[in-house]
Amino acid sequence: MSNKLWDKGFTPDEKIELFTVGQDRELDLKLAAHDVKGSIAHVTMLESIGLIEPDELPILRDALTQILLEIEQGKFTIEPGVEDVHSQVELLLTRRLGDIGKKIHSGRSRNDQVLVDLKLYMRDELIDIINHVKVLFDRLLSLSNKYCDILMPGYTHLQVAMPSSFGLWFGAYAESLIDDLRLLKAAYDIVNQNPLGSGAGYGSSFPLDREMTTRLLEFGDLHYNVVAAQMSRGKSERAVANALAGIASTLGRFAMDVCLYMSPNYGFIKFPDEYTTGSSIMPHKKNPDVFEIMRGKCNILQSVPNELALLTANLPMGYHRDNQLLKDVIFPAFDSLKECLDMCDMMLGHIIINTDIINDPKYDYLFTVEEVNRLVLNGVPFREAYKKVGEQVQNGSFKTNRSINHTHTGSIGNLANDQIRNKMDTIIAGFKKYM
């Protein structure tokens, strides 16, 4: 007996079935709880419009709640021969409730059912990402405050440029994460719209109360046009992928800094031996493998938006099975990014800063701009001051003065970390009602 929602009394070729189902059964386990929650909202709405009898609703809700409990306890599986999570839930209901269970799909297509599941799943995953980002942000800002007075070289073109500080370095990445969350908020708003009731993409002749399911599932808004709702498949994933890629870009860039700064030619930072790896042939090596793997994973994450764009490029209106493959790409991206965020936070909990790096004579010329600015503050025109210091550098007479006096907002002497934290708090507050 077939356990497919679309069963019409024939059995497809086995190879065709394996090819078209793909990874759905494995990936759908991530959607199971969301599928049940969507079904609870759907049957509640069906009762309100008379498609389910009042005495049937509590029976269905209790059975669905029991399935949800089994999912949360890790007891839910998709049985062999069952195509996907939607089929499995309906199969369980029919086994346990008989004909009542068969009513659950009224006014619904697997298309809008999948859309609801995906949007609920991505909503939760985005909130989880925010929590992970906030942990790393707190770590970075704490390190920025701790090492606010420890100078380090700043570079342009990988050439020694001007004085920086570890406070600036850590704080820069903390503030950059705030911009990443702004993009993530936009993706969240795109995802947080209810597609239920759009059916296969063209609505239904049933008098569905779509506003009711929007409230029950706590969506921020409704995909009003049923075709637009169906078109959100792929568009939502691309928006999310861009948000994840933004965070990955920041994290990957930080990982690259760490790899450079750990090298003996820089020597700015190091980690305890147990947080590095060695060489099979060179006894002295302490490799930044964690951050190299992190850099690689983040580069892969930055390719995800393009992968999804190519997967969905030029698809005409309506549902197409290509969209099934979106899960294969976006689901692992969430796990990979969270793993990188966690690992970065753990490593930074053990970072060791070289507090004396700036006193190395090779950084003497790092302070030429400071000398130019001192002359300007004493009344020398900028171009004359620049020329004078430049001549001193050329003839070897430049005398380094390592004292600095940066006071403007966001500079070495005024990191504005309280203001940066306020920015993050404002962003987080925009998500609070969903967290």
87 classed as catalytic: no
Question: Which position has the token pair 């090596």?
Answer: 285
Question: Which position has the token pair 């590095």?
Answer: 276
Contact 49, 206 (CB under 8 A): yes
Set 105, 106, 157, 236: catalytic member: 157
* Neighbour count for residue 97 (Cβ, 10 Å): 18
Dist CA 65 CA 108 (whole Å): 20
Dist CA 367 CA 369 (whole Å): 6
Set 39, 205, 279, 411: catalytic member: 279
The SS3 call for residue 149 is coil
Q: Any alpha helices (H) in 287-381, and if so which ranges?
A: 289-312, 326-348, 368-377
Single-letter code of the amino acid located at 325: L
Dist CA 135 CA 4 (whole Å): 43
Contact 123, 206 (CB under 8 A): no
Longest CA–CA separation in the chain, Å? 95
CA 326 to chain centre: 16
Distances (CA, A) of 42 to 35, 113, 114, 216: 10, 10, 13, 9
284 classed as catalytic: no
For 82-219, strand residue ranges (E) read 151-156, 159-165, 193-194
Name the residue among 184, 178, 42 with its Cα closest to residue 123: 184
Dist CA 251 CA 124 (whole Å): 21
Name the residue among 139, 96, 150 with its Cα closest to residue 349: 139
How many C-alpha atoms does 47 have within 13 Å on its Cβ side?
Answer: 15
For 75-199, strand residue ranges (E) read 151-156, 159-165, 193-194
Termini Cα distance of the chain: 43
**φ, ψ at 353 (rounded to 5°):** -95, 135
Name the residue among 159, 201, 163, 180 with its Cα closest to residue 253: 180
Bridge partner residues of 164 (DSSP): 152
As annotated, the active-site residues are 157, 279
